[in-house]
Amino acid sequence: MISINSIKNGNVIKLNGDLFTVMYFQHFKPGKGGAFVRTKLKNFKTGAVADKTFRAGETVEDVRIEEKKLQYIYNSGEDYFFMDLETYEQMPINKIIIGDGIEFLKEECELTGIYCEDKLVNVEMPNFINLKVSDTSHFKKGDTASGGSKPATLETGAVIQVPAFVNQGDVVKVDIRSRKYLERV
């Protein structure tokens, strides 16, 4: 247990049985009344961000986490199999834990596994990934009504909008968080 006064950005705490990352905190000491701490917390399971206010002096459970590098190998139904790059142990991870970026996952992609008390609680996808365009329509000259972009299917099956000059077979850099094309590689 740690005092709420000593938390920092990036700390992981446990509230009501759920794990949260402290994204933001600010101490307040109003003229009247006791001091308090405003925080912005991100839930590990759902990814939801919530504001929470604590009274100064309250204690919360501090959780130690460990990060391990994992490499994606293959999937089988709902389970995606990863290899721990330190021990070479293979483990299945349910697609719910991986989250939204799963459609950009390709073989040999490296991710970060977040462990709490030797149990995997979250998987962090890389922010950017290079993927090959497997299919895209031909852009007709003069057709700029769509803003000069067109849909492209990537090698993982994900569909994103790309500029008109991107062709089938090109490798593009994608921001997984925003699902946006960044550049041609």
Domain boundaries, the chain: 2-62, 65-124, 128-184
Q: How far apart are CA 110 and CA 124, in angstroms?
A: 10
- Cα 102 to Cα 158: distance, rounded to the nearest angstrom: 9
Q: How far apart are CA 148 and CA 88, in angstroms?
A: 45
3-class secondary structure, 82: strand
pLDDT at 142: 58
- Read off the pLDDT of each residue in 149-170 and give the average, rounded to a whole number: 89
Calculate mean pLDDT across residues 79-94.
89
Least confident of 62-71, 122-131, 132-141: 132-141
Top pLDDT among 51 and 2 is at 51
- pLDDT band at residue 173 using 50, 70 and 90 as cut-offs: very high
Confidence of residue 146 (pLDDT cuts 50, 70, 90): low
Helix H or strand E encompassing 96: helix 95-98
pLDDT band for position 147 (50/70/90)?
A: low
Q: Residues near 18 by Cβ (< 8 Å), separated by ≥ 6? A: 43, 44, 45
Whole-prediction pTM: 0.68
Residue 171, Ramachandran bin (φ over 0: left; ψ between -120 and 50: alpha; else beta): beta
pLDDT at 28: 86
- End-to-end CA, the chain: 48
- Same fold yes or no, 2-62 and 65-124: no
Fill in the DSSP letter of residue 157: S
Q: Where are the beta strands (DSSP E) in 77-124?
A: 79-84, 90-94, 110-116, 119-124
> Is 136's pLDDT higher than 60?
yes
Percent of the chain residues past pLDDT 70, beyond the cut: 95
Burial status of residue 141 (CB atoms within 10 A of its CB: 0-12, 13-18, 19 or more): exposed
Instruction: Report, at the CATH architecture level, how domain 128-184 is classified.
Output: Beta Barrel (2.40)
- 83/52 Cα distance (integer angstroms): 37
Chain centre to alpha carbon of residue 35: 34
Q: What is the CATH architecture of 2-62?
A: Roll (2.30)
CATH 1.25.40.10 fits 65-124, yes or no: no
